[in-house]
Amino acid sequence: MPLLKELGTAVRQRRQEMGLSQQQLASLVDLSRATVNSLETGKLNDLSSNRIERLANELGFAVGLVGTRRSKDKSAIDAAARIASVPYTKELPAAVLLESLKEGVVPPGYIPHLRTLLQEAPVAILANVADELRQSHDVPVPDTWKRMRMLAGVLKCDRRLWQSMPI
């Protein structure tokens, strides 16, 4: 499959999982909605490597599109819990993160941790977490993105990603 067709398919799937419209994604990555549409429908003949890289990075793909970037850790939840804990003395247990993302409720002592995760973690990590929740706990990927978006709103995250996604 040619690169742009593979990218278009992956972009459409990730965009839909994240609950973004084509216009919202276009704004997030500084492309036109028409370009995003043409890419997703396989009608785009050319896209600069800079634009491909920006689009891939925002959606958490490796530029070569051999799949999403994966942590060397066994569990995306474990990796995300460690990322969320870096600035804090008290570590966020992976089980607490898992329940917070499944239920949409964060224990008060871990609110700063989850805010750090949603504000600063690479999109690839968040996508891996959504995939792991689907595989291990039968939580649909779009539901995890909706829950992360809702939590980002409650926790007042000002990351451009969350501003681009509908509540």
Residue 106: domain span: 76-162
Q: State whether 33 and 98 are in the same domain.
A: no
3-state helix, strand, coil in the chain (%, to 5): 65, 0, 35
The yes-or-no verdict on residue 58 having pLDDT over 80 is yes
The yes-or-no verdict on residue 2 having pLDDT over 50 is yes
Give domain status of residue 34, yes or no. yes
The yes-or-no verdict on residue 134 having pLDDT over 70 is yes
Q: Return the pLDDT at 62.
A: 73
Q: State whether 101 and 23 are in the same domain.
A: no
The yes-or-no verdict on residue 137 having pLDDT over 90 is yes
Give domain status of residue 17, yes or no. yes
The yes-or-no verdict on residue 17 having pLDDT over 80 is yes
Which tens digit of pLDDT belongs to each residue from 148-157? 999 999 999 9
Q: Averaged over 101-127, what is the pLDDT?
A: 94
Average pLDDT of the chain? 88
Q: Return the pLDDT at 163.
A: 82
Give domain status of residue 109, yes or no. yes
The yes-or-no verdict on residue 107 having pLDDT over 60 is yes
Hunting for tokens 């593979």 — which residue is that?
Answer: 6
DSSP letters spanning 108-156: GGGHHHHHHHHHHS-HHHHHHHHHHHHHHH---HHHHHHHHHHHHHHTT
Distance CA 139, CA 23 (A): 27
Q: Averaged over 113-123, what is the pLDDT?
A: 94
CATH number at residue 12: 1.10.260.40
Domain total for the chain? 2
Give domain status of residue 143, yes or no. yes
Q: Averaged over 129-144, what is the pLDDT?
A: 95
